[in-house]
């Protein structure tokens, strides 16, 4: 293996590297959605948030020259979209699933509109840490060039897991998600809890979007996100609303998504599009296996409209 | 539905109004269904005007060009109606399952699969009389799209998989299948830059309604919408579907075959969107390629919600939104707005329409209390 020609090993290596690279948006969106759904509301609009986050991160990074300001801008954009979602959903008799679909269209449309002038210029990108310095093999080094955002996400998952179990606000979010009556009886405003949870969820999803435009693939165009946002929402169901499982699921999905390009790099080009659809097929397959019409899913917040 | 019920209890509960008991009381519900979405539309247009004004464009110019590009001339009317045809059909893909309380947003996928099936049928039957080919294309499109959405319905019914998410995932899977076939098995070697299937043949195209440039797809859409209306509001099947949509437990107790209802309705819904795909192939593109994923399926969701899932109301709403997308080109040329401005406006309209749901039954003068 040390002679540099690693042959078919390229594929698993590329899948591993891809799992780390591609999974980051999945990870952030699913962690954000996890928080939102635990509070008893589903935000399907995170697809739009992701694209808006990608656009605003790229724009701010281009204008200010600082990619980290771009990441922050993406988070704030996402939080604002989350506030919009939560605000509309607080009105009586408004369906949160439908509002999510509307914001999906709105977010992508707005991002394409505002992002028109950003297709040409190149913005400064996020730096990567080289974890592959010990290896001489370029493929290994490429696979281990890891972005800081991924590491933040990896740390965030156990923190969220811990926070849901032990902290005051984690408990409040879960109360609002399991029984809004109980939360109200304790003197808390369910709408306010959900507003905050949706804003934090949007913030994280926006950051996931900034990864798309500022690191991998690392440019802004209208085909940047093709359903990663919605896949991540489905992924939360598969992960049973558990932040730690979200991490593993995101890695698996990233690997699946990297399969197409990895096979293409070794010359397997037939079925390229089918391999690109692997995350969607995987999501659907997993949902078919794990869901059941007879019972609600274990771990599902009782107030969630989508599992009832 | 609920507002009407609330209105009648109000009327019983309060002292009977003295004079003309009222037009407003009898038709308050209907007026609400027109007034509230209408107001939402106006509000959305106003917000879009402000949005455009922030970029230094004159909103009055915007409204003028939107009107002109959509309904100003006979040419723009034809453009609008051509775009309305697939919108009617894809809106049915959301509106029909909505009667059962399902939120299906995968019309785009059924459209693509319908287009692919219709093209395959046409290519397999080359040399047959055009009428035979066209009928086969309609059947293939309806069956292909129908089975695609029926899959989402079946997964929900038998496996408990959420139909909103599964139908959306199926859009991406359909697009992958289409790209795979168009660039592989079904590719016309002559299509170099834009991989496409072979042409279905000029003789097999369904052509225009005499005297216009509007293709027959519009008639397909009108027939499908009216048939859906009759099916839902004037047949036993439609009644059963609405009962199941209102209260699924009650439907099961009275012995309705809910499984069969859901599968049938999903098949019809997907069939409508598949027909839209067939129409786009047989009247516009003449072949299948990635151009077909033009977003008709997603705009159709908006049409269905704006029409409050009523198949008859879908017709005018589809024409309205067809007009908005028809005016996109003019906005681009005259005002220099990006083509995504139509998407932004659609998003704003959608948000306003959903937020306006909170208003039903709350408009004082429509309750007839005063």
Given pLDDT bands bounded at 50, 70 and 90, which one contains residue B153?
very high
Per-residue pLDDT tens over the stretch B156-196: 999 888 898 899 899 999 999 999 999 888 888 888 788 89
pLDDT of residue A296: 67
Counted residue by residue, chain B has a size of: 370
pLDDT of residue A306: 63
> Is the CB of A12 inside 8 Å of chain B's CB atoms?
no
Query: How far does the CA of residue A181 sit from the closest CA of chain B (Å)?
Result: 21
Per-residue pLDDT tens over the stretch A39-56: 999 998 999 999 999 999
Answer yes or no: do A273 and B183 touch at CB < 8 A: yes
Kindly tell me if the per-residue pLDDT of B154 is higher than 90: yes
Kindly tell me if the per-residue pLDDT of A15 is higher than 90: no
ipTM for the predicted complex comes to 0.88
Contact B148, B275 (CB under 8 A): no
Q: Taking residues B87-101, report their average pLDDT.
A: 96
Q: Chain-wide mean pLDDT for chain A? A: 87
Give the distance, in angstroms, between the CA of residue B362 and the centroid of all CA atoms in the same chain: 28
pLDDT of residue B248: 84
Q: Taking residues B116-129, report their average pLDDT.
A: 94
Per-residue pLDDT tens over the stretch B321-359: 999 999 988 999 988 888 889 999 999 999 999 999 888
Per-residue pLDDT tens over the stretch B233-267: 999 999 999 999 888 888 888 888 899 999 999 99
> Is the CB of A251 inside 8 Å of chain B's CB atoms?
no
Any idea which of A297-306, B13-22, B125-134 has the lowest mean pLDDT?
Answer: B13-22
Q: Which residues pair with B208 in a beta bridge?
A: B215
pLDDT of residue A137: 78
Tell me how far apart the alpha carbons of residues B84 and B81 are, in angstroms, rounded to a whole number: 5
- What are the two backbone dihedrals, phi and then psi, of residue B299, each rounded to the nearest 5 degrees? -65, -30
Kindly tell me if the per-residue pLDDT of A4 is higher than 60: no
pLDDT of residue A7: 66
pLDDT of residue A146: 86
pLDDT of residue A212: 92
Query: How far does the CA of residue A167 sit from the closest CA of chain B (Å)?
Result: 31
Kindly tell me if the per-residue pLDDT of B3 is higher than 50: no
pLDDT of residue B4: 42
Q: In terms of pLDDT, which residue wins out, B184 or A84?
A: A84
> Is the CB of A120 inside 8 Å of chain B's CB atoms?
no
Q: Taking residues B204-217, report their average pLDDT.
A: 90
Given pLDDT bands bounded at 50, 70 and 90, which one contains residue B74?
very high
Q: Of the candidates B172, B340, B358, which has its C-beta nearest A277's C-beta?
A: B172
pLDDT of residue A270: 75
Tell me how far apart the alpha carbons of residues B154 and A57 are, in angstroms, rounded to a whole number: 41
> Is the CB of A84 inside 8 Å of chain B's CB atoms?
yes
> Is the CB of A99 inside 8 Å of chain B's CB atoms?
yes
A184 C-beta neighbours (distance < 10 Å), count: 14
Q: Of the candidates B159, B338, B347, which has its C-beta nearest A288's C-beta?
A: B159
Q: Taking residues B219-231, report their average pLDDT.
A: 97
Give the distance, in angstroms, between the CA of residue B131 and the centroid of all CA atoms in the same chain: 27
Spell out which residues of chain B touch residue A120, defining contact as CB-CB under 8 Å.
Answer: none
Contact B311, B266 (CB under 8 A): no
Kindly tell me if the per-residue pLDDT of B14 is higher than 60: no
Given pLDDT bands bounded at 50, 70 and 90, which one contains residue B7?
very low
What percent of chain B shows pLDDT beyond 70?
Answer: 92
Contact B144, B278 (CB under 8 A): no
Task: Give residues 42 to 81 of A whose Cβ lies within 8 Å of B.
Answer: 44, 48
Q: Of the candidates A99, A271, A280, which has its C-beta nearest B180's C-beta?
A: A271
Q: Which residues pair with B187 in a beta bridge?
A: B197
Kindly tell me if the per-residue pLDDT of B366 is higher than 70: no
Kindly tell me if the per-residue pLDDT of B16 is higher than 50: no
Per-residue pLDDT tens over the stretch A103-135: 998 999 999 999 988 988 888 888 888 887 787
Which residue of chain A is at minimal alpha-carbon distance from B301? A101
Size of interface A-B (CB pairs under 8 A): 149
Spell out which residues of chain A touch residue B104, defining contact as CB-CB under 8 Å.
Answer: none
Kindly tell me if the per-residue pLDDT of B66 is higher than 50: yes
Kindly tell me if the per-residue pLDDT of A1 is higher than 50: no
Tell me how far apart the alpha carbons of residues B196 and B112 are, in angstroms, rounded to a whole number: 13
pLDDT of residue B326: 92
Q: Coil, strand, or helix at residue B289?
A: strand
pLDDT of residue A260: 79
Tell me how far apart the alpha carbons of residues B13 and B41 are, in angstroms, rounded to a whole number: 34
Q: Which residues pair with B289 in a beta bridge?
A: B196
pLDDT of residue B104: 94
Given pLDDT bands bounded at 50, 70 and 90, which one contains residue B369?
very low
Query: ∠ CA A256-A257-A260 to the nearest 5 degrees?
Result: 95
Which residue of chain B is at minimal alpha-carbon distance from A294? B160
Per-residue pLDDT tens over the stretch A250-272: 998 888 888 877 787 777 777 78
Kindly tell me if the per-residue pLDDT of A170 is higher than 50: yes
Kindly tell me if the per-residue pLDDT of A277 is higher than 70: yes
Q: Which of B51, B176, B363 to mutate against chain A (most A CBs within 10 Å)?
A: B176
pLDDT of residue B365: 66
Q: Which of A59, A200, A166 is nearest to A117 (CA)?
A: A59
Kindly tell me if the per-residue pLDDT of A38 is higher than 90: yes
Given pLDDT bands bounded at 50, 70 and 90, which one contains residue B133?
very high
- Calculate the CA dihedral of residues A261, A263, A268, A269 and round it to 10 degrees: -20
Residues B202-221 as b or e (16 or more Cβ within 10 Å = b)? eebbbebeeeeebbbbbebb
pLDDT of residue B255: 86
pLDDT of residue B360: 84
- Calculate the CA dihedral of residues A27, A234, A283, B109 and round it to 10 degrees: -120
Contact B278, B118 (CB under 8 A): yes
Tell me how far apart the alpha carbons of residues B354 and B306 are, in angstroms, rounded to a whole number: 8
Contact B356, B36 (CB under 8 A): yes
């Amino acid at each position: 293996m040390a002679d540099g020609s690693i042959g078919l090993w390229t594929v698993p290596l590329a899948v591993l590297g891809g799992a780390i690279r591609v999974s980051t948006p999945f990870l952030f969106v699913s962690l954000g959605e996890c928080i939102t759904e635990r509070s008893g509301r589903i935000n399907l609009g995170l697809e739009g948030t992701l694209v808006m986050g990608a656009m605003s991160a790229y724009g701010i990074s281009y204008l200010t020259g600082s990619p980290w300001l771009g990441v922050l801008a993406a988070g704030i954009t996402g939080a604002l979209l989350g506030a919009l979602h939560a605000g509309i959903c607080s009105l009586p008799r408004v369906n949160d699933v439908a509002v999510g679909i509307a914001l999906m269209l709105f977010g992508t449309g707005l991002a394409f509109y505002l992002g028109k002038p950003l297709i040409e210029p190149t913005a400064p990108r996020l730096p990567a840490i080289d974890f592959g310095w010990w290896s001489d093999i370029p493929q290994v080094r490429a696979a281990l060039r890891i972005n800081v955002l991924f590491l933040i996400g990896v740390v965030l998952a156990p923190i969220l897991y811990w926070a849901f179990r032990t902290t005051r606000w984690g408990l409040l979010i879960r109360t609002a998600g399991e029984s809004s009556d109980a939360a109200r009886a304790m003197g808390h405003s369910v709408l306010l809890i959900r507003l905050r949870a949706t804003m934090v969820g949007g913030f994280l999803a926006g950051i996931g979007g900034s990864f798309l435009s500022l690191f991998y693939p690392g440019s802004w165009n209208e085909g940047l996100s093709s359903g990663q946002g919605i896949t991540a929402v489905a992924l939360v169901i598969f992960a049973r609303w558990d932040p730690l499982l979200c991490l593993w699921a995101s890695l698996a999905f990233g690997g699946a998504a990297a399969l197409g390009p990895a096979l293409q790099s070794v010359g397997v080009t037939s079925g390229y599009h089918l391999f690109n659809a692997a995350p969607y097929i995987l999501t659907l397959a997993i949902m078919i296996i794990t869901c059941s019409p007879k019972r609600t899913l274990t771990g599902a917040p009782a107030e969630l409209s989508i599992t009832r | 539905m609920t507002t009407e019920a609330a209105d009648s209890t109000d009327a019983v509960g309060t002292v009977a109004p003295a004079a003309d008991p009222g037009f407003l009381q009898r038709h308050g519900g209907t007026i609400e269904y027109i007034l509230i979405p209408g107001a939402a539309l106006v509000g959305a247009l106003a917000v879009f005007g402000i949005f455009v004004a922030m970029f230094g464009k004159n909103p009055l110019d915007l409204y003028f060009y939107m009107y002109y590009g959509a309904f100003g001339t006979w040419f723009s009317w034809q453009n609008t109606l051509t775009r309305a045809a697939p919108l009617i059909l894809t809106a049915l893909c959301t509106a029909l399952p909505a009667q059962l309380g399902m939120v299906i947003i995968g019309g785009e996928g059924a459209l693509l699969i319908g287009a692919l099936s219709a093209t395959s049928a046409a290519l397999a039957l080359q040399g047959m009389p055009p009428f035979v080919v066209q009928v086969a294309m309609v059947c293939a499109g309806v069956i292909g799209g129908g089975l695609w959405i029926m899959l989402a319905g079946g997964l929900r019914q038998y496996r408990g998989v959420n139909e909103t998410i599964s139908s959306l995932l199926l859009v991406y899977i359909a697009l992958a299948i289409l790209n795979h076939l168009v660039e592989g098995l079904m590719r016309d070697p002559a299509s170099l830059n834009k991989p496409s299937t072979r042409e279905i043949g000029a003789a097999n195209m369904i052509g225009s309604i005499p005297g216009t440039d509007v293709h027959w797809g519009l008639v397909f859409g009108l027939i499908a919408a009216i048939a859906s209306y009759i099916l839902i509001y004037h047949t036993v099947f439609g009644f059963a579907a609405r009962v199941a949509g209102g209260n699924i437990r009650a439907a099961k107790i009275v012995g309705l075959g809910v499984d069969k209802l859901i599968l049938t309705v999903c098949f019809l819904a997907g069939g409508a969107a598949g027909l839209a795909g067939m129409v786009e192939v047989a009247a516009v593109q003449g072949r299948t390629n990635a151009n077909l994923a033009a977003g008709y399926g997603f705009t159709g969701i908006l049409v269905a919600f704006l029409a409050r899932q009523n198949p008859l109301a879908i017709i005018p709403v589809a024409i309205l939104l067809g007009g908005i997308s028809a005016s996109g080109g003019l906005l681009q040329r005259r005002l220099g707005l990006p083509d995504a401005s139509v998407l932004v406006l659609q998003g704003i309209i959608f948000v306003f329409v959903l937020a306006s749901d909170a208003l039903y039954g709350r408009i004082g003068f429509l309750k007839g209390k005063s």
